[in-house]
Amino acid sequence: MTRRCFACQVAILGALGALASGCIPQAATTQGQSINSLYTVALAMSAVVAALVWGLITWSVIRYRRGKRASDELPPQTSGSQVLEIIWTAGPLIAIVILFTATLLTLNVVNAAPQQGAVQLNVEAFRWGWRMTYPNDGVSVEGVLAPGPQAVLPVGREVQINLTSADVIHSFFVPQFLYKKDAIPGHPNSFTITIAEPGTYAGQCAEFCGVFHSQMPFTIRAVSDTDYRAWLSSERAAGSTPGATP
Amino acid sequence: MPEELRFMMRSAFYSSFVGIAYWLLTREPAGTVLLLGCGLAATVMFGALLYEWRRSGHRLSGPPWRWVLLPASDSESHTTDQSGRLPRRTLAPLSGALGIVLLALTLVFGIWMAVASIVPLLIGLRLWLRDVMAEFRAVDVD
Amino acid sequence: MTAIPVDQPLAREHGEARPQVSHGLADWLTTTDHKQIGLLYIGTSLVFFLLGGLAALALRLELAQPGMEFVTPEVYDQLFTMHGTIMMFLFGTPIALGLANYLLPLQIGAADMAFPRLNALSYWLFLFGGLVVVGGTFIVGGPADAGWTIYAPLSGPDYSPGPAMDMWIVGIGLTGISSILGAVNFIATLFTRRAPGMTMLRVPIFTWGVLVTAVLILFSFPVLTAALALLYIDRHLGGSFFEAASGGSPVLFQHLFWFFGHPEVYILILPFFGIISEIVPVFSRKPLFGYRAMILSLVLIALYSFTVWAHHMFTTGAVDLPFFSFVSLLIAVPTGIKFFNWIATMWRGQLTFPTPMLWCLGMMYFFLIGGITGVIVASPPLDFQFQDTYFVVAHLHNVLVGGTVLAAFAAIYFWFPKATGRLLSERLGKIHFWTFLVGITVTFLPQYQLGADGMPRRYADYPPNPGWADLNMISTVGSWIMAFSILVFLVNVVLTLRRPATAPDDPWEANSLEWATSSPPPDHNFRSLPKVRSERPVFDMRMSANQERSDA
């Protein structure tokens, strides 16, 4: 294998290695989908950087080994180059600016304020479960430990989730939405999602809150708007007493 | 101006500048206080060092931009004890540390820890002061 | 100013027995010699490393399969809390300070630190403070269990009552004070004790790394101390700084903690960047490429590290996302400058690969992934997925183990002959290196995927989601490979210390002043100092000696 071929192979491995940073789920929300695009951009840039840097290191290690029969003579004692410093400062700077711009564009989508008429869901986290209330409809679901409460939400409509905590800091995390937000006592938080696909999505607490931090899951079941309204009516009819729902 | 004064001055400028920029950009109080606090701390340390330096007879010279941007020249660096003496072996740091830790444990276990800390603290202080006074007497005070 | 000790025996004459490293116990307990204090720091931090490592092995054993097989959730929470606490405060910071303590006076041609007794006090405060922190293990209920980040209100009086949390606060407060005193000492020594001819721009790059680290400690640790004091007031004196119900703010705790916490992680890496910058030129037979650019990049990283703290708080909804995102992304630029300069140092050099160089190369390969994933989580929309998941756990171990630990081993192998007069075994060293590299790859790279899939961190147990058990098992097996590797290292150290101390002054043909004195150095470090005309005084000395020899 020639030196050149070996270095190429390492460069490709580098790109794959960068991809070892993992595949994230395909988002089930429209906001999440713009995060998917951003991640693709970030991964592509990472692969290029990794291949370049690992390639250069590997090349140096192979090409500039000191041979066994080497003389005592030192190599040229080059100690610096203004031009190179400028190049490898400007290059990464440009890459950073690109990533930052993409970040801002994505943030605008993810953090966009909801329109009028968004569905409201108030979520209160506590040790160790969730109390989810639909304030405009007088419906509430609550669950402690596993399997936790299940909140039903409509597909295709904006949903504003309002987070609080009754005790310590928790965090509302649904991996398939590519999103989490902290539930902090005394500091209410809100975010908006528009679920694009019907389905059941697992949620977890993502801020260490004590012994049963890993035992307070919840689920979001996304259904058509009609089914959602039907569910709301039946919940209201059954009396909005909290109880774990299947 | 010696290196340490320049360092404190630059730190004060940087922290204050960032603190002000941070406030203007984010209006977030906690971070602003912390950044400006660092700037204030560096300014106080600069002031104290400057006072000491002037008290031993030095004066600022040269254009101010040199103080901010360039390193100090050798002649500007000044230490009080040029004898190069090294302290001898002593139990004072160990004993003193033990005393400090026991004293701090008062916060966990109550007043009896403070009582336990008295002996090692005093031993540490005594040994340390004795060595320092002996060294002080052995050097010509300038 | 080289020191001439008074009240001490005259310097040993030529031909007398070599200076010893280890004297009696009384010697070690009363020392004010920076070399002994440095070795005490390094030795103690390695013992804590083993302790923190055992905690990690235990928690990885528990995580290998879903379900709680070995420990209860309470004990699990204590395990990860103590693992993080010990590694960050009782291993990472002290080993950096220990290496700095040993090397800084030697590298600048001084006889000792500016404040030798204060130096000793710093060490003993660290030791006793560290014992207080782990001492919580022996009280009723076990040690603290609120994570190494002890967020309020979880760490407050309502949710962590009892003395364990207070012992944590007191112990960490004391080690913090120890670090601050050390920082003052390093800065004072560097500014006032340099050898004649050693201007700031001829100071070795490791020492520059120590300087910026000391500055970070000086300005960040007091904020931690303040946060701990406020937390203590909340816990015991009726305060409500962090209690929302009484008008306080939990978010304030995070601001205070991370204003310290982010510089802390740079404290853990900057001296080690300096170590790589010292070792790579030696085994490339070339000077460090871009010495001034490297200094500038150290300074820039240090300056930026004070402005990025809230990237740990992106999901709190309480911080300005664009500001912190931009500055956090920006830190990649000076870090990249370092990588490119290391590569340029090797470029067109004559590379050899003794164990210290292997560690440096391993660091360059492995740390890069951590740097890249750091840039990824610096983007808030991406961080919304990754925050508080195993992606962050993978990233932080990638940079801390792949950066700090690999470079710490590089330093140990490189300077072991200087400190003890014996070279560590190359064969065992290579086994240690390769098994460790394999171990950390197998342990930490799968954790990126776990985090991307959404497995949160600090979870004692996890649901049987597809793939999670397998990835966790792989990660656990990796931890056993790492443990084996550390055993090899310990064997290497023990066997090497048994051999006679015959290492020459300068076994590696290195550059800085510590290689101009004997191995180990005598009591006041130097019998005579070579002239300092560049940042490579020993290289210059060797070149002019060669010149004289060839002229003769």
Residue C524, pLDDT > 90, answer: no
**Chain B residues with beta carbon closer than 8 angstroms to that of C522:** none
* For residues B100-125, average pLDDT: 96
Give per-residue burial for C218-254: e unless 16+ CB within 10 Å, then b. bbbbbbbbebbebbbebbeeebebbbbeeebbbbbbb
- Residue C17 is predicted with a pLDDT of 40
Q: C531 falls in which pLDDT band (50, 70, 90)?
A: confident
Rounded Cα gap, residues A199 and A192, in angstroms? 18
The pLDDT tens digits of the residues spanning A88-124 come to 999 999 999 999 999 999 999 999 999 888 999 999 9
Q: Are strands A158-165 and A129-134 parallel, antiparallel or unpaired?
A: unpaired
User: Peptide bond preceding C520: is omega within 30 degrees of 0, i.e. cis?
Assistant: yes
Q: Which of C246-260, C374-388, C537-551 has the lowest mean pLDDT?
A: C537-551
Q: A3 falls in which pLDDT band (50, 70, 90)?
A: very low
- Residue A23 is predicted with a pLDDT of 87
Residue A39, pLDDT > 80, answer: yes
Active-site residue flag, C311 = yes
> Can you tell me the ipTM of this complex?
0.93
Rounded Cα gap, residues C361 and C406, in angstroms? 9
CA distances (Å), A68 to each of A62, A71, B48, in order? 14, 9, 59
* For residues B48-66, average pLDDT: 85
Mean model confidence pLDDT for chain A? 90
Cβ contact C233:C239 at 8 Å = yes
* In chain C, % of residues over pLDDT 90: 89
* For residues C303-319, average pLDDT: 96
Radius of gyration, CA atoms only, chain B: 22
H/E element, C246: none
Give the number of other CB atoms < 10 A from CB of residue B54: 11
Coil, strand or helix at A143: strand
Active-site residue flag, C524 = no
A-to-C residue pairs, Cβ atoms closer than 8 angstroms: 265
Q: Do A85 and C290 touch (CB under 8 A)?
A: yes
Cβ contact B22:C323 at 8 Å = yes
Rounded Cα gap, residues A211 and C77, in angstroms? 7
Catalytic residue, from C264, C383, C506, C514: name it.
Answer: C264
The pLDDT tens digits of the residues spanning C443-467 come to 999 999 999 999 999 999 999 998 9
H/E element, C488: helix C468-498
Give the number of other CB atoms < 10 A from CB of residue C501: 16
- Residue C143 is predicted with a pLDDT of 94
The pLDDT tens digits of the residues spanning B8-47 come to 999 999 999 999 999 999 999 999 999 999 999 999 999 9
* Amino acid at position A235, single letter: E
The pLDDT tens digits of the residues spanning C21-30 come to 557 899 999 9
Between residues B85 and C212, the one the model is more confident about: C212
Establish how many alpha carbons lie within 13 A of residue B96's alpha carbon, considering only the half-sphere containing its beta carbon: 19
Active-site residue flag, C112 = yes
Rounded Cα gap, residues A118 and C351, in angstroms? 65
Q: Which of A66-75, B78-87, C363-372 has the highest mean pLDDT?
A: C363-372
Rounded Cα gap, residues C399 and A241, in angstroms? 50
Mean model confidence pLDDT for chain C? 93
CA distances (Å), A169 to each of A127, B31, C330, C380, C501, in order? 10, 21, 30, 19, 56
Which of B82, B86, B101 has its CB closest to that of C128? B101
Residue C513, pLDDT > 90, answer: yes
- Residue A32 is predicted with a pLDDT of 96
Using CA coordinates, name the residue in chain B closest to C200: B71
B-to-C residue pairs, Cβ atoms closer than 8 angstroms: 143
Mean model confidence pLDDT for chain B? 88
Two structure tokens written together for A198? 């019907």
**Chain C residues with beta carbon closer than 8 angstroms to that of A209:** 154
Q: C281 falls in which pLDDT band (50, 70, 90)?
A: very high
- Residue A102 is predicted with a pLDDT of 97
- Residue C18 is predicted with a pLDDT of 43
Residue C331's Cβ-count burial label (10 Å; 0-12, 13-18, 19+) is buried
List the strands of the sheet with A189-194, edge to edge.
A139-144, A129-134, A119-126, A158-165, A189-194
H/E element, C529: none
Residues 99-138 of B with CB under 8 A from C: 100-101, 104-105, 107-109, 128, 131, 138
- Residue C8 is predicted with a pLDDT of 35
Query: C155-158: which pairs have CB atoms within 8 A and are 24 or more residues apart?
Result: C155/C231, C156/C231, C156/C234, C156/C235, C156/C242, C156/C243, C157/C234, C157/C235, C157/C236, C158/A167
Residue C10, pLDDT > 70, answer: no
* For residues A198-219, average pLDDT: 97
**Chain C residues with beta carbon closer than 8 angstroms to that of A21:** 369, 372-373, 376, 391, 448, 452
Two structure tokens written together for C507? 């076994």
Diameter over CA atoms, chain A: 92
Of the candidates A201, A121, A133, A132, the one whose C-alpha atom is nearest the C-alpha of residue A161 is A121
Matching residue, tokens 């979520």: A123
* For residues A206-225, average pLDDT: 97
Residue C5, pLDDT > 70, answer: no
* For residues A49-53, average pLDDT: 96
Residue C177, pLDDT > 70, answer: yes
Rounded Cα gap, residues C548 and C532, in angstroms? 18
Which of B4, B15, B86 has its CB closest to that of C116? B86
The pLDDT tens digits of the residues spanning A117-145 come to 899 999 999 999 999 999 999 999 999 99
Q: Do B94 and C6 touch (CB under 8 A)?
A: no
Radius of gyration, CA atoms only, chain A: 26
- Residue B72 is predicted with a pLDDT of 72
Residue B135, pLDDT > 70, answer: yes
The pLDDT tens digits of the residues spanning C335-354 come to 999 999 999 999 999 999 99
Which of C154, C249, C291 has its CB closest to that of A168? C154
CA distances (Å), C24 to each of C5, C28, C36, in order? 22, 7, 12
Residue A233, pLDDT > 60, answer: yes
* For residues C297-304, average pLDDT: 96
Establish how many alpha carbons lie within 13 A of residue C274's alpha carbon, considering only the half-sphere containing its beta carbon: 30
Rounded Cα gap, residues A179 and A191, in angstroms? 10
Residue spans of alpha helices (H) in A3-121: 3-19, 30-63, 82-110
Task: Give me the torsion for CA of B34, B39, B45, B46, rounded to 10°.
Answer: 180
Of the candidates C9, C88, C109, the one whose C-alpha atom is nearest the C-alpha of residue C45 is C88
The pLDDT tens digits of the residues spanning C374-414 come to 999 999 999 999 999 999 999 999 999 999 999 999 999 99
